[in-house]
Amino acid sequence: MVTGSTAELPRPQPVFSLICGGFAGCIGKTVTAPLSRLTVLSQTSSLLAGSSTSAASSCGSAAKGGAFADGAIVQGLGRIVRSEGYRGLWKGNVCTLVHRFPFTGVNFAVHEMLKQQMPLSWQRSVLGKFFPGAMAGCVAVIICYPLEVARTRLMTESRLNGRYKTPWACISKLISEGSLYRGMGVSLLVTAPCVSASFGAYDLIKEQMRLLGFEPGSAFVTTVSGGLSGLVGSSLTFPMDTVRRRMQVGGMADVNRTMLQEARSLWQMEGARGFYRGISPEMMKVFPCVALTFWVFEVLRSRGTKVF
């Protein structure tokens, strides 16, 4: 449990923030991995429903848009377990962790570094609270994007007919397809505002809770602020995130569309509802995932700062 105000602690070096953020992101993602996979399967179900290698078709087409199109949480998790066993709930998590450690670490490191370099007046402004997160999200996406594409593909393929034996085989296939950076433009459009909203909302909520009399560095304030900030970021960007996921797996369905083409196709096939497929497991996942990530980061940062 973090005690005392984290504002009283000296700011750690960026490398230390990267390490703390990396571990925090891995823990948060691992705990909520089953819901993450269900979200991705729901988002891509209608696109991959006819693919022999996708989990969307291997579980049977329960709806017009594929087995996971309804986004039902209990039924969806049950389909995965019946088809792939309990290990299927964490399918792609190894690649997720390989991606998440540098991705979350870079986010926290760049965010902390920019906050240190910003003038005090800029830090106190509302815009100033959101700017470091936006920049951090852009840097992290550019550095880690190929692993993000590999993770998405591993999470959407089926166990019985999967084409990728390992994350490295998946990356090799992406290179041969020329798909290593498929959808990176839309990923920047999703991640930058999402990370910006999460970090900005986190600081604002913590400040409001402090004014209400809560201890700024307490575990309660950290987890509540982190969880609510995650909900803010994900809810604002979920429609674009759906487009991004569909672009990332397009090669599995022999589809190669631009961001606008994919969005238009989704609208024509499913209407506005299609952009929100998977919103239920996403909202259930994001609060504990982001809350745990911020809490673990604050714990590691505070203890490490005191030691070093």
**Token duo for residue 29:** 């993602």
What is the DSSP track for the chain? Answer: ---S-GGGSPPPPHHHHHHHHHHHHHHHHHHTHHHHHHHHHHHHHHHHTT-TTBHHHHT---STT-TTTT--HHHHHHHHHHHH-GGGGGTTHHHHHHHHHHHHHHHHHHHHHHHHHS-HHHHHSHHHHHHHHHHHHHHHHHHHHHHHHHHHHHHHB-TTT-S-SSHHHHHHHHHHHT-TTTTHHHHHHHHHHHHHHHHHHHHHHHHHHHHTT--TTSHHHHHHHHHHHHHHHHHHHHHHHHHHHHHHTGGGGT----HHHHHHHHHHHHGGGGGGTTHHHHHHHHHHHHHHHHHHHHHHHHHHHHH-
The domain 12-307 belongs to what CATH superfamily?
Mitochondrial carrier domain (1.50.40.10)
**Token duo for residue 64:** 């017009």
Q: How confident is the model at residue 7 (pLDDT cuts 50, 70, 90)?
A: very low
How far is C-alpha 284 from the chain's CA centre? 13
What are the φ and ψ backbone dihedral angles of 157, each rounded to 5 degrees?
A: -85, 160
Q: How many residues does the chain have?
A: 308
Task: Say which range, 208-217, 221-230, 285-294, 296-305, has the weakest mean pLDDT.
Answer: 296-305
Whether the predicted pLDDT of 60 surpasses 70: no
Domain ranges of the chain: 12-307
- Distance from C-alpha of 308 to C-alpha of 243, rounded to nearest angstrom: 44
303 in the Ramachandran plot: left (φ > 0), alpha (ψ -120 to 50) or beta?
alpha
Give me the mean pLDDT over the 150-160 stretch: 74
- Distance from C-alpha of 124 to C-alpha of 116, rounded to nearest angstrom: 12
Q: What pTM was computed for the model? A: 0.78
CA distances from 24 to 11, 40, 97, 106 (A): 17, 22, 11, 12
Quick: pLDDT tens for 263-288: 999 999 889 988 998 898 999 999 99
Quick: pLDDT tens for 80-128: 898 888 998 998 888 889 889 999 999 999 988 888 888 776 767 878 8
